[in-house]
Structure 1
Amino acid sequence: MSGKQIKLFLVDGTPGGLSTAEITNWTGHILTAPRSDVGELLRRPEASRTGVYFLLGDDESAVGDVRCYVGEADVIGDRLKYHLREKDFWDRVAVVTSKDTNLTKSHVRYLESRLISLAQQAGRSTLDNGTAPATPPLPEADESDMDYFLQQLQIVLPVLNINVIRSRQAHESSEISHATPSPIFELVSQRAGVRATAQQVDGEFTVLEGSVVVPRWRGKGIAESTIKAYAAYRAQHEKLVANGAILVEGASARVARDIPFPSPSTAGAICLGRACNGRVEWVSGAGTFGAWESRDVS
Structure 2
Amino acid sequence: MDPVGRVVKIFITGQDPRSLRTVELDNWTGVAITGQPEFFKKALEAEVLARSCVYLLIRSSADDDLPEIYVGESDDFSQRYTSGKFPIEFDTFLIFTSKDDNLTRAHVKWLERELWMILKRNSGKALVANSNTPTGSNLPRADIATMRTYYLGNLIYVLEALGYDFFSVEERTSASPQASRRNDEVVAGTASPPLNLYTHLPKRPQDKAFLRYADGAYTLLAGSRINAKTTDSLPANVRKLRDQLIADGDLIDNGDHLDLRRDIPFSKPSPASALVKGRSSTGYLDWLREGDGLQLGAVLGLAAPVAASDE
What does residue 212 of structure 1 align with? 224
Counterpart secondary structure, 1:106: helix
CA distance in 2, matches of 1:40, 1:237: 34
What does residue 167 of structure 1 align with? 168
The one-letter code matched in structure 1 to 2:56 is F
TM-score (norm 2): 0.70
Counting only pairs closer than 5 Å after superposition, residues 110-125 of structure 1 correspond to structure 2 as 110-123=110-123, 124-125=125-126
Counterpart secondary structure, 2:80: helix
Aligned residues of 1:282 and 1:289 also touching (Cα < 8 A): no
What does residue 252 of structure 1 align with? 257
CA displacement at 1:181 relative to structure 2: 3.4
What does residue 210 of structure 2 align with? 196
CA distance in 2, matches of 1:258, 1:156: 23
Q: CA 1:139 to 1:283, structure 2 compared with 1: closer, same or farther past 3 Å? A: farther
CA displacement at 1:169 relative to structure 2: 4.3
Percent identical pairs in the alignment equals: 23
Counterpart secondary structure, 1:81: coil
Give me the CA root mean square deviation.
Answer: 3.9
What does residue 241 of structure 2 align with? 243
CA distance in 2, matches of 1:192, 1:185: 21
Give per-residue Cα distances to partners, 1:250-270, cap 9 Å, x unaligned: 33344455242546x996797
What does residue 35 of structure 1 align with? 37
What does residue 196 of structure 2 align with? 186
CA displacement at 1:26 relative to structure 2: 1.4
Q: CA 1:135 to 1:217, structure 2 compared with 1: closer, same or farther past 3 Å? A: same
Aligned residues of 2:70 and 2:87 also touching (Cα < 8 A): no
CA distance in 2, matches of 1:119, 1:21: 22
What does residue 145 of structure 1 align with? 146
The one-letter code matched in structure 2 to 1:94 is L
**Unaligned runs of at least 5 residues, structure 2:** 302-311
What does residue 93 of structure 1 align with? 93
Q: CA 1:212 to 1:152, structure 2 compared with 1: closer, same or farther past 3 Å? A: same
What does residue 133 of structure 2 align with? 132
Aligned residues of 1:268 and 1:276 also touching (Cα < 8 A): no
CA distance in 1, matches of 2:283, 2:174: 34
The one-letter code matched in structure 1 to 2:266 is P
Bigger relative contact order, structure 1 or 2 (CA pairs below 8 A, ≥6 apart): 2
Q: CA 1:277 to 1:113, structure 2 compared with 1: closer, same or farther past 3 Å? A: closer
Counterpart secondary structure, 1:85: coil
The one-letter code matched in structure 1 to 2:29 is T
Aligned match of 2:53 in 51, 54, 61? 51
CA distance in 1, matches of 2:239, 2:42: 41
CA distance in 1, matches of 2:81, 2:168: 27
Counterpart secondary structure, 1:243: helix
What does residue 108 of structure 1 align with? 108
* Comparing 47-56 and 242-251, the one that deviates more: 242-251
Aligned residues of 1:182 and 1:199 also touching (Cα < 8 A): no
- Count of residue correspondences: 270
CA displacement at 1:242 relative to structure 2: 4.7
CA displacement at 1:137 relative to structure 2: 2.0
**Unaligned runs of at least 5 residues, structure 1:** 219-230
The one-letter code matched in structure 1 to 2:104 is T
The one-letter code matched in structure 2 to 1:281 is R
Give per-residue Cα distances to partners, 1:116-150, cap 9 Å, x unaligned: 11111121333232221343221222111110211
CA distance in 2, matches of 1:270, 1:127: 17
CA distance in 1, matches of 2:276, 2:222: 12
